[in-house]
Amino acid sequence: MIVCMTCQEGRLQRRNLTYLQWHDDNLLIVNRVPASVCEVCGDYIYDPDAVEHLQQLLWAHLPEKQSPNKRKRSPA
Ligand SMILES: [Zn+2]
């Protein structure tokens, strides 16, 4: 068992949480993302592997408009 880094007291339990993330004006909601939740203070950490997997899925589907360099297109 891992001890919580926030309160140094509780232990982290495996839970499935809802993952929320804003992308510009769009709110991404992913249900049942594995995470570790402190039983004492309620602090939580998403499973790093799950988050990375999510990010990869996300970036694969987003149109290429995130890079600021690509938006610099002069009218001439
Ligand atoms: Zn804690």
* Res 28: pLDDT: 85
**Predicted TM-score (pTM) of this structure:** 0.68
Let me know the angle formed at the C-alpha of 32 by 31 and 38, rounded to the nearest 5 degrees.
120
Assess whether pLDDT exceeds 60 at residue 37: yes
Q: What is the mean pLDDT of residues 9-25?
A: 92
Is 3 a member of any domain? yes
CA of 51 to the centre of ligand 1 (A): 21
pLDDT at 10 over 60: yes
Residue 8 has pLDDT above 90, yes or no: yes
CA of 12 to the centre of ligand 1 (A): 8
Provide the token pair at 14. 């495996």
Q: What is the residue range of 24's domain? A: 1-50
Using the mean position of ligand 1's atoms as its centre, give its distance from the Cα of residue 53 in Å.
26
Pair of tokens at residue 33: 């993302």
Q: What's the chain's average pLDDT?
A: 86
Q: List the CATH number of the domain containing 43.
A: 3.10.20.860
The answer to the question of residue 20 being in a domain is: yes
Residue, of 8 and 76, whose pLDDT is higher: 8
Count up the domains in the chain and report the number.
1
Name the pairing type of β-strands 26-38 and 44-46: antiparallel
